[in-house]
Amino acid sequence: MTLTTLVEGLAFSEGPRWHQGRLYYSDFYRHVVEAVDVAGSVELIAEVPTQPSGLGWLPDGRLLIVSMLDRKLLVQNKDGSLAQYADLQSIATFNCNDMVVDSKGRAYVGNFGSDIDAKPVKRVPADLALVDTDGSVRVAAEALEFPNGSVITPDGKTLIVAETFAKRLTGFDIAADGSLSNRRVWADLGGHYPDGICLDSELGIWIADPVKNCVVRVLEGGEISRVIETGRPAYACALGGDDLKRLFICTGDAGAAKSSRTGRIETIDVEIASANGS
């Protein structure tokens, strides 16, 4: 089975989330959040000049958007306007990126740690931020090697975050107040660099690997059960579609993303449905 292009002409799409019958995603360098249905009809959701990234929803239905460059979390009000929800500058030491929001509305937000495009590169471990339901911010976990895509298990008890530079998925127990503990390696990925990730109903995690141009499904402990070659860098993925068995993959060329529009969202049907039923 081959990949099918759903959306093209993008710069650098990230943070895909299936929500109420559509796939929402951010496009960094076009500075927009958009939604697309399974037929390919695209709607502009929000414009974020400071580069949107991770997406999620509060229990009341409002959309949260990570604003990368100013290291803030925005909320979209019912009238479509955007407002600051939280300031992450006290924790994020460089651009913010992906995020996961739990059922209570608490958001866990990662950041680059340092300028990864600097020459020479000086990688700095990053702290994972926790934004509570009142908008307050605290450190959820310290010294992660580029905390990127994250998922929360359906029972709400475990958070798993991709540490891109460490080539692993790291698990935490979630306490009643959202605090994280019992840090452990959920899966050592060997040669794979995990960027965006998503969780299926059998607790397999799909990871997008922009270095090896593929998406892979990995089980706790590190067993890889399936590899899908994308032929070009894959940066993020999400499960959705009518039966929640369609895998949406954000692909593109990061090096040319600011000046080109070669980014795409591609799809392929898989056997196991999403863990999230929205």
The two structure tokens encoding residue 165: 């530079």
- Whole-angstrom CA distances from 211 to 167, 214, 229 are 11, 8, 12
State the sign of the Cα–Cα–Cα–Cα dihedral 135, 139, 141, 147: positive
- The per-residue pLDDT for range 14-62, each reduced to its tens digit, is 999 999 999 999 999 999 999 999 999 999 999 999 999 999 999 999 9
Coil vs helix vs strand at 148: strand
Structural Rg of the chain based on CA atoms: 17
pTM of the model: 0.96
- The per-residue pLDDT for range 117-140, each reduced to its tens digit, is 777 778 889 999 999 999 999 999
- Residue 7 sits at the vertex; the CA angle it makes with 265 and 66, to the nearest 5 degrees, is 60
Coil vs helix vs strand at 255: helix
Domains identified in the chain and CATH numbers:
4-269 (2.120.10.30)
